[in-house]
Structure 1
Amino acid sequence: MNRGFTLIEMMVVLAIAAILLAVGMPYLQGFVAKGQARSLSAELSRSIMMARAQAVETGQTVSICSHSGASSPACGTAADWSNGWIAWYGMASAGAQVASQRVLLVTRQPALVGISTSVGDFSFAPTGLVSRATASSTLVFTIACRANAAIAFRTVEVGRNGRVTLAPEKDDVSGCS
């Protein structure tokens, strides 16, 4: 009695496995992108809440700006948050070097998702209020797919009073790869 399987049986199994993998791969990338979006929105909201708390606790201005991508912490010159963000004690200004300041945190973004916003930088006054927002404005950060910015996962909003809110998640992430 021979035990085992033939080469043809093995090739059929491999072909079926390859087909299943090819069909499932886009869903896997969407699943990973959604996880990265959750993580990024949580990290951004935690960073903003931490900066506000530090401003109130220490009585100093605390700023958050987009990272320039340089090896030493420096603010980006525009609303390009693709390199992450920096929080530090001091007033925000575009292109500012923050290495000499007391840096609170420096973060980087994951590969599949990114932040879309018109905000370049903003500061929290010692009172906890956002100093770069008008009385009626809200700072809006959209967590979106890097490959297709039209696929937005979550929105992080910061009110003039410094309150952070997260918009509900969007479920359709199949186009993000």
Structure 2
Amino acid sequence: MGYCTKGFTLLELLVALAVSAILLTLVVPAFSQMAQRAKADSDLSELLRSLNYARLEAIERGLPVHLRPEAVDADWGRGLEIYQGEGPATNVLRVVPAVSRGARLTLTSGFDSIVFNALGGVSAAVSPVMTYVLGEQRRTITLCLNGRIAVGEECK
């Protein structure tokens, strides 16, 4: 009777490990980019919902509605609040959660808040532009003076 061995040789194990390592180096970056894209899409969707909410509230109430950073240091990425009114008589309508960890949300310099007027337009001399960055994901939102919200494009 012959001697029968079960299992793998060292050479077979090394080849299997090498193939696994090559596959992992191809899959991990693609998965990381896919996860970043999903987070960016989620953050952008929440931001667009909030901007549309603020605009529609201004139209419905017939009064200006503001969107500003919730944080005192004016960091747009740490959360936003939508409110109506001025000074101590501020009526907060909705609080928008912070963007994903590691993401940055900035607004064109010169703007400390966005104001939608009673007609749904933006009360400003120029269209504010919001920029969202998460890793390699970069998105821009332009708030047209007529109230239209343009993602990745300029106002026409």
- TM-score of the two chains, using structure 1 as the length reference: 0.68
% identical equivalent positions:
26
Q: What's 2:113 paired with? A: 121
Q: Report 1:29-48 matches (<5 A).
A: 29-48=32-51
- 2:105 partner SS: strand
Distance 1:2 1:111 in 2: 56
| Matching residue of 1:5 | 7
SS for the counterpart of 1:88 is: strand
Alpha-carbon shift at residue 139 of structure 1 (Å): 0.9
Distance 1:82 1:45, change over 3 A: same
Letter of the structure 1 residue corresponding to residue 141 of structure 2: V
Deviation at 1:117, TM superposition (A): 2.2
The amino acid across from 1:81 in the alignment is W
Paired amino acid for 1:17: S
The structure with higher relative contact order (CA 8 Å, sep 6+) is: 1
Contact 2:66 2:114 in 1 (8 A): yes
Q: 1:105 aligns with which of 90, 95, 106?
A: 95
Letter in 1 for 2:85: G
Question: Which of residues 85, 97, 109 is equivalent to 1:90?
Answer: 85
Cα RMSD between the aligned structures? 2.9
How many residues get paired? 148
Aligned partner of 1:173 in structure 2 is none
Q: Choose which of 76, 98, 107 in structure 2 pairs with 1:81.
A: 76
What is the rounded CA distance, in whole Å, between the counterparts of 2:130 and 2:91 in structure 1?
A: 25
Q: Report whether the alignment pairs 1:156 with 2:141.
A: yes
2:129 to 140, 147, 151: 140
**What is the CA–CA distance in structure 2 between the aligned matches of 1:2 and 1:166, rounded to whole Å?**
67
1:77–1:120 contact (8 Å) kept in structure 2: no
Structure 2 regions of 5+ residues with no counterpart? Answer: none
CA drift of 1:11 comes to: 5.2
Whether the aligned pair in 2 keeps the contact of 1:158 and 1:164 (CA below 8 Å) is yes
Secondary structure at the aligned position of 1:157 is classed as strand
1:18 shift after superposition: 2.9
Q: Map Cα deviations across residues 41-66 of structure 1 (whole Å, 9 max, x no partner).
A: 22212211110101111223211112
Task: Please identify which structure carries the higher helix content.
Answer: 2
Question: Partner of 2:139: helix, strand, or coil?
Answer: strand
* Secondary structure in 1 matching 2:91: coil
| CA 1:116–1:4: 2 relative to 1, 3 Å | farther
